[in-house]
Amino acid sequence: MMTQEDGEYENSTYEYMDYGYVEEAKAGGYAQREALHIISVIIYSLAFTLGVIGNGLVIWVTGFKSKRTVNSVWLQNLAIADFVFVLFLPFSIDYVLRDFHWLFGKTMCKLNSFVCTMNMYASVLFLTVLSLDRYISLAHLSWSEKYRNVRRAWCVCALIWITSCCLSCPALIFRDVFQHKGKVVCFNNFHDESRHMIVVRHIAMVSMRTAVGFLLPFATITISGVLLAIKMRQSDSVRVNSFSRTVSAVILAFFLCWVPFHTFSLMELSMHHTNYLHSVLIVGFPLATSLAFFNSCVNPILYVLLTKKVRKLVRRSCLKFTKSSLRELSQSVSATELDSPLPSCSPEETTANSYV
């Protein structure tokens, strides 16, 4: 573990969870930090609770309770990405509650950041594929019927997972821990004494994340949406179904949740030249990160609110589960009563009964 007491943070960046230790306690500053910490913990806890339940339910329904289709494959993998991410949220919650003191070691520091980044890439790539698939299935029906199937969908999903893991590797390389004023901090360490090389590495990492994780998918989704709208206007045979509207809502929610995070990531690059935006980043970055994390529990809520078929399937599955549980409970109680020994009578009771 590195030790760095009062030195300059020449080789580190503030990154999404690093603002807790950079800002010193000043008049009114500590209260502001405490308020931001409380808001972050509330959002993280809510995202964890809703995300585990909601995404777990989506995985269960799409994997075991519904017919296996191309659409269900996309939704299942998207839910898996969010589910894996929310399972790691307790580490972030503990980190914030301890005023940014990391107790879980260097390996978990790297893995936690890796999972967060992988979730972002996997989610946006699955949403991009969903958008393209929606356009192809509605606007090019003959091609879709010929080439669109579940096996190819799983191949695309495997490619997306591999790509997301590769794009998230910088977290495994640069994430590190060191001790600062009695606290262990999880941060980005660019491992170079050259200030110029540190800046280059930081800019390259943020640029790749913004381009591949936001700008290119956003452009692809926008273009496919516009082409679909044009196709609908030109042809009366193309109709948008309820699933297509749900996909649009999920895509919109993703970009609304992640736009602030990428905006502050780009603003953070200015910290290499000036501290002009430091106070804005201190307040805005934790809130933007919380909003981005919250996206992992939004999709299941949208499925339930917007898709009648999903609501019906969930209600039927829950009713079936409740009936099954009550039936097993009733059988267990009956078996217990049969297995329990009959109460024995005392000699006096036996004698009294013989005279009756």
State pLDDT tens for residues 145-184.
Answer: 888 999 999 999 999 999 999 999 999 999 999 888 888 9
Written as six digits, the tokens of 187 are 């941060």
State pLDDT tens for residues 123-132.
Answer: 999 989 988 9
Where do the domains of the chain lie, and which CATH numbers do they carry?
Answer: 2-324 (1.20.1070.10)
Q: Are strands 2-3 and 12-13 parallel, antiparallel or unpaired?
A: unpaired
pLDDT band for position 199 (cuts 50, 70, 90): confident
For 300, residues 6+ apart whose C-beta sits below 8 A from its C-beta are 50, 51, 53, 54, 55, 57, 58, 79
Closest CA to 301 of 39, 65, 79: 79
Checking if the pLDDT of 318 tops 60, the result is yes
How is 315-344 classified by DSSP, letter by letter? HHHHHHHHHHHHHHHHHHHHHHHHHSPPPP
Q: pTM to 2 decimals?
A: 0.78
Average pLDDT, the chain: 80
